[in-house]
Amino acid sequence: MNKKLIMGLTIPLCCTLLNASEELDDVTVVGIQNSYYEENSSTALKSDSSDKETPYSTTTTNKTLIDDLQALRLEDTYDYTTGVTKIGQSADSITIRGFDIDLQNIQVDGLPGLISRFGSPSTANVEKVEILKGPASVLYGNMEAGGFVNIITKKPQAENKVTIETSYHSYLSNSSKLGEDNGFTTSVDATGTITNGLYYRFIAVGENIDSYRGNVGNKNLYVYPSLLWDIDDNTSLLLALEYGKEDGDADDGLFVANHDIATAADITTVYQDDGDYDNDEGTAINLNLEHYFVNNSVLNVSWRSVFHNDERALNENRTVNQAVNVEDTTLTRRHRDQSNDRDWHSFDANLKFKAYTGSIVHNLTTGVSGAYRETDYDRIAFGGNLTPNINIYNPSHVSTYTSVEGNRRKTEYLSGAIYAQDKMNLTDDLIFVTSGRVDRTKINYYCLRGSCADDNTTYSTNFVGSLGLVYNINPFVSVYGSFGQSYNPETAERVDVDGNGLDSEKSKQYEVGAKFNINEKLNTTLSFYKINKENVAESNGSYYVLTGEVESKGIELDVQWLPTENWQFKAGYALNNAEYVAGSSLGEKPSNTPRNTAFVFTRYNIPTRVFNGVLGLTSGVTYKDSVFTSSSESTRVELPSYARLDLGVHYDEKDWSLSLNVQNVADKKYYEYGSNDYSIYSGEPRKIVLTFKKSF
pLDDT of amino acid 648 = 98
Half-sphere exposure of 460 (CA within 13 A, CB side): 24
- The per-residue pLDDT of the chain, averaged, comes to 93
pLDDT at 17 over 70: no
- Whether the pLDDT of residue 31 is over 80: the answer is no
Per-residue pLDDT tens digits for 68-81: 999 999 999 999 99
Closest CA to 650 of 613, 611, 688, 607: 613
Q: Is the dihedral of CA 120, 123, 127, 131 positive or negative?
A: positive
Mean pLDDT of 195-224: 96
- CA distances 55 to 355, 471, 559, 612, Å, are 21, 9, 17, 45
Return the minimum-mean-pLDDT range out of 4-8, 73-77, 648-652. Answer: 4-8
Mean of the pLDDT values across residues 93-98?
A: 95
**Quick one: pLDDT at residue 690?**
97
pLDDT score recorded for residue 542: 85
CA distance 389 to 398: 10
Q: Which pLDDT belongs to residue 24?
A: 37
374 has a pLDDT exceeding 70: yes
Report the candidate in 73, 170, 69 with the shortest Cα–Cα distance to residue 688: 170
Is the pLDDT at 643 greater than 80? The verdict is yes
30-44, 178-192, 249-263, 281-295: least confidently modelled range? 30-44
Given this model, what pLDDT does residue 490 score? 93
Q: What was the pLDDT predicted at 29?
A: 59
Strand, coil or helix: 263: helix
CA distance 590 to 576: 11
pTM over 0.85: yes
User: 397 falls in which pLDDT band (50, 70, 90)?
Assistant: confident
- Cis peptide, bond prior to residue 388, ω within 30 of zero: yes
Name the band, by pLDDT with cuts 50, 70 and 90, for residue 16: very low
In the chain, how long is the greatest CA-to-CA distance?
Answer: 81
Q: At residue 138, does pLDDT exceed 90?
A: yes
Higher pLDDT, 400 or 476: 476
Task: Say what percent of the chain tops pLDDT 90.
Answer: 86
Per-residue model confidence as pLDDT tens digits over 114-134: 999 888 899 999 999 999 999
Sequence-distant contacts of 191-194: CB under 8 A, at least 24 apart = 191/154, 191/156, 191/157, 191/159, 191/160, 191/161, 191/162, 192/156, 192/157, 192/158, 192/159, 192/160, 192/161, 193/158, 193/159, 193/160, 194/227
Judge whether 651 and 604 are in contact, CB under 8 Å: no
The structural domains of the chain, ordered by start, are 3-149+231-652+673-684 (2.40.170.20)
495 pLDDT more than 50: yes
Amino acid residing at 70:
Q
Please say whether the beta carbons of 31 and 618 come within 8 A.
no
At 28, is the pLDDT very low, low, confident or very high (cuts 50, 70, 90)? low
| pLDDT tens-digit map of 278-306 | 999 999 999 999 999 988 899 999 999 99
